[in-house]
Amino acid sequence: MKALLSESPGGPETLAVKEMPTPTPGPGEVLIGVKAAGVNFPDTLIIRDLYQIRPERPFAPGSESAGVIEAVGENVTDFNVGDRVQALTMFGGFATHLVVDQSSVQKIPGAMPFDEAAGFIFTYGTSYYALIDRGDLKAGETVLILGAAGGIGVSTIEVGKALGARVIAAVSSEEKAEFCRSVGADEVVLYPLEMDRSAQKDFANAVKKIAGPDGVNVVYDAVGGDYAEPALRTLGWEGRFLVVGFPAGIPSLPLNLTLLKSCQVIGVFWGAFIKREQDRYAEHLKALFSLYNEGKLKPRITARYPLQKAADALRDIETRKAMGKIVLTVD
């Protein structure tokens, strides 16, 4: 088998494709012949030792992948050789083969292509958990999504619309704005790549003008940095500010705003949720695949890279150039 390995901490340039022995599944494990792997922002962090999880090196990044089961270990009862599946592993997915515990594997719908399956669970799972469990988003409410053109942002637009919410997408260019409109965003607001105090005020005022006097009900912040405070200022009474990620840096928020608005700042740690709340996670998966089969969710894959060029895919993610979902195709 081949795998894209991280052998020392660093950026995408430190990764290299290496030949390795194909692993054998142990008890409760399956061997997947990988067909596609999703590329996500945490993949850019884990190779730098900046993520919550720090695997022992050498390891392959890649938190989600899809393919066909080629072998099963003892005591595997839910899967057979030939099953089409998706696996959520947090790392190890950038490889031609992957051994994973059966508890981290899900069968995929027969009509779902491997590239869509590989780009589905991480983004839509995060967005669904955030909006349903943490944000308590209801039909008719308004949600503001920062970084709305990326993979996680696009999934949040679609989940928000599926829940009957009004969606305001915030992005950094007109190209990204048009992309968000095509996905289903009701309104779009532009913000600059560098956010000074004047730009923060302009951004907040633009959102407030669209949202109306009651403000937005939920902010989905997967950007952080200087974008967080103006987004918090757009919240209405008893609004919910969802903290999802920090590609622009960890922000400092004026907590007096939470008092004046009687609003909440709520953390969204989906990786911990799926381990601690497995029954609820299973319910989420069932709901997400149902929405996919109804045509309400569909990964917007805008770029496909071969495994050998995974470093280019990771650079697109970390420089925030990517729109929609990027996947690796594995031969």
DSSP state of 262: T
The per-residue pLDDT for range 240-298, each reduced to its tens digit, is 999 999 988 999 999 999 999 999 999 999 989 999 999 999 999 999 999 999 999 99
| Mean pLDDT, all residues of the chain | 95
Residue 188 has a CB neighbour count (10 Å cut-off) of: 20
Helices (H), the chain: 41-46, 114-118, 121-128, 151-162, 174-183, 197-211, 228-233, 256-261, 270-276, 278-293, 310-318
Residue 237 pLDDT level (bands cut at 50, 70, 90): very high
Q: Would you say residue 320 has pLDDT above 80? A: no
Instruction: Output the CA angle 327-329-331, nearest 5 degrees.
Output: 165
d(C-alpha 193, C-alpha 227), whole Å:
10
The per-residue pLDDT for range 99-118, each reduced to its tens digit, is 999 999 999 998 899 999 99
DSSP state of 132: I
Nearest CA to 34 among 60, 67, 63?
A: 67
pLDDT of residue 304: 95
The per-residue pLDDT for range 189-201, each reduced to its tens digit, is 999 988 999 999 9
Helices (H), 52-120: 114-118
pTM comes to: 0.92
Helix (H, G, I), strand (E, B) or coil at 166: strand
The per-residue pLDDT for range 60-97, each reduced to its tens digit, is 999 999 999 999 999 999 999 999 999 999 899 999 99
Instruction: Give percent of the chain with pLDDT exceeding 70.
Output: 100
Nearest CA to 128 among 302, 323, 277?
A: 277
